[in-house]
Amino acid sequence: MNLYILRHASAGTKRANPLLDLKRPLDKDGKAHCLHLAHILTGMKISFDLIVSSPLKRSLQTAQLVGTETGYETRVLISNALSPTATFTEFQRMLRECAAYENLLVVGHNPNITAFLGQLIVPTPEDPMHLRVRLRKGSLARLNFTRGPATLQWLLDPRLVKALYATSTTSSRRKTSRK
């Protein structure tokens, strides 16, 4: 299985009221980043068989925007195994339930999505935060997930996505100088 782990895109500042924070949507930059990421993924010919998201609005919006723009036509599955309070055991159970899919995209939150990524790569039960992988908002990691520890194939940072998008959308006409 190819497992794609995506941290939700920018959603502005955290709200003081936890109930309001659950419904915090993506901001303008977050929406633009999702479209840019989807453009890059489409250029790489990456599509998803299943997309699973945290129930929080910002993750669901990220999943839906990226999914729609990459040609995903099925509903996004919502799972509490990707919520900010989820445990690694719940996350593993969700992965086992989705094992039949070849290309799986999961969208979640920090700090647990980063801890899950580390646990998949180097599993050690005594310290779940032992491997530190920095996932900025909108970062996407691709893992080859078969038996044993997963293998990190690549990681797209939001700054790299922005640079790739900028170079892929420039004019294809050659620049010529006039002398």
Does residue 177 sit within a domain?
no
Instruction: Quote the number of domains for the chain.
Output: 1
**What averages of pLDDT result for each successive group of 10 residues across the chain (179 residues)?**
95 77 88 95 95 96 96 95 94 94 96 89 66 86 84 92 84 53
pLDDT score of 144: 93
Does residue 57 sit within a domain?
yes
pLDDT score of 178: 53
pTM of the model: 0.88
The CATH number for 92's domain is: 3.40.50.1240
Report which of 70, 69, 44 is spatially closest to residue 168, judged by C-alpha positions.
44
pLDDT score of 146: 75
Does residue 179 sit within a domain?
no
Cis peptide before 123 (omega within 30 of 0): no
pLDDT score of 19: 72
pLDDT score of 7: 94
Burial of 53 (0-12, 13-18, 19+ CB in 10 A): buried
pLDDT score of 59: 95
Does residue 126 sit within a domain?
yes
As a whole number of angstroms, the distance between CA 154 and CA 51 comes to 19
Does residue 85 sit within a domain?
yes
The residue range of the domain holding 66 is 2-168
Does residue 148 sit within a domain?
yes
What is the Cα 78 distance to its own chain's centre? 14
Does residue 27 sit within a domain?
yes
Does residue 62 sit within a domain?
yes
